[in-house]
Amino acid sequence: MQKKEKLSPYAYGLPAEARTRYQEKLAYNKGLDRLPDPYAITKSEWVNDPSIWPELDFGQVYLYLIETPSMFNKSAMKAYKSLEAYRYVESGHVDQIQIYDVNGSPFCFLKADVIGSMKIRDKPHQPWVCLAKDTADIYCAHCTCLAGLGEMCSHIAAVLFKIELGVRYGVTQKSVTSEECKWNKVFRKQV
């Protein structure tokens, strides 16, 4: 693993304090190793293959959403299907989940474009989540929206919900058909 990973133009454009926090979230192993900046990974390196997603479950999503400072709390999670993030998934506002396996590390990145419900013509937000490959524990997350700087927003939660639903419905299981790819393509295109 390289000690110094290149940052994306997005990361360089962040205010100094936010950029420092962004770089810190990409460090692991007590700061000895660094993950690449997901926004600097080329489009061709991301893969649409649900069969290699970590087996994320609702308990992991719940704990991450509750433990990360955000608008999510225990009472909101009791009615998670009414959350804006869950509605993004139901209404097709979450694009295909793409995965990037970080070679030489215990982590992978998953990302998807997410269109806000009110501003369908606006550029989609670009959240990513970093999961442990073997346990699917959520290590960190980020989104290009303002709330995403703090590692939690509805767009990040929507990506987590879509991954969890895919795992729960079995689309991550190896199949001789391409059903998992069909399921993952459900996305509302911009009008």
**Residue 31 domain flag:** no
Segment holding 91, helix H or strand E: none
Whole-structure pTM value: 0.84
**Residue 20 domain flag:** no
Task: Write the pLDDT tens digit of every residue in 103-150.
Answer: 999 999 999 999 976 666 778 999 999 999 999 999 999 999 877 676
- The residue among 143, 144, 168, 188 whose CA lies nearest residue 60 is 168
Higher pLDDT, 74 or 125: 125
Give pLDDT, residue 150. Answer: 67
Are the CB atoms for 143 and 155 separated by under 8 Å?
yes
Are the CB atoms for 157 and 73 separated by under 8 Å?
no
Name the pLDDT band for 2 (thresholds 50, 70, 90): very low
For 134, the domain range is 44-184
Does the pLDDT value for residue 76 go beyond 70?
no
**Number of domains, the chain:** 1
**Residue 12 domain flag:** no
Give pLDDT, residue 149. Answer: 72
Task: Write the pLDDT tens digit of every residue in 17-65.
Answer: 999 999 999 999 999 999 999 999 999 999 999 999 999 999 999 888 8
Higher pLDDT, 181 or 164: 164
Give pLDDT, residue 132. Answer: 98
**Residue 139 domain flag:** yes
Give pLDDT, residue 1. Answer: 43
- The three-class DSSP label of residue 190 is coil
**Residue 75 domain flag:** yes
**Residue 6 domain flag:** no
Give pLDDT, residue 37. Answer: 98
Distance CA 158, CA 47 (A): 19
How distant, in Å, are the alpha carbons of 71, 107, 158 from that of 112?
Answer: 21, 17, 9
Give pLDDT, residue 65. Answer: 85
**Residue 9 domain flag:** no
Are the CB atoms for 160 and 61 separated by under 8 Å?
yes
Name the pLDDT band for 99 (thresholds 50, 70, 90): very high
Give pLDDT, residue 119. Answer: 64
Segment holding 116, helix H or strand E: none
**Residue 17 domain flag:** no
